[in-house]
Amino acid sequence: MAEHNELGKRGEEEACRYLSEQGYRILERNWRFRKAELDIIAEGPDHIAFVEVKARESNRFGNPHEFISKAQQKHLIKAANAYAEAEDLQKDLQFDVVSITFKPEFRLEHFKEAFYPG
């Protein structure tokens, strides 16, 4: 497996661990719809969070969460809508980002409601 894939997988593991510690229940990982993949779908007490995980070795070229384009957001929103419809979700939906850097020290940031549909 390519090094960037390993880094992404490690980042998703860290994000799941963190979200679970915060009281979220992980519903799905790597759920695919057409061109989009929802990294983590997690249930909080009053909402469902569609969580995009961005992991980088360091922030030398910028913070990981800064690399989510408007086009990627559109794909994620379409995928989330498809999931919500398929599962007949009744809770509020939100889009979160978990940003992770591993060096020079481990840093995880959770951006709740990082972007909005529309």
- Look up the CATH number of the domain holding residue 107: 3.40.1350.10
**Would the pLDDT of 2 be above 70?**
no
pLDDT, the chain, mean: 91
pTM of the model: 0.91
Count of Cβ atoms closer than 10 Å to residue 118 Cβ: 4
Secondary structure element (H or E) that encloses residue 84, with its range: helix 70-87
92-112: pLDDT as tens digits: 999 999 999 999 999 999 999
Domains contained in the chain, number: 1
Taking the C-alpha atoms of residue 76 and residue 62, their distance in angstroms, rounded to an integer, is: 22
Torsion sign over Cα 34, 88, 111, 13: negative
Q: Which domain holds residue 86?
A: 3-115
pLDDT digits 0-9 by tens, 8-42:
899 999 999 999 999 999 999 999 999 899 999 99
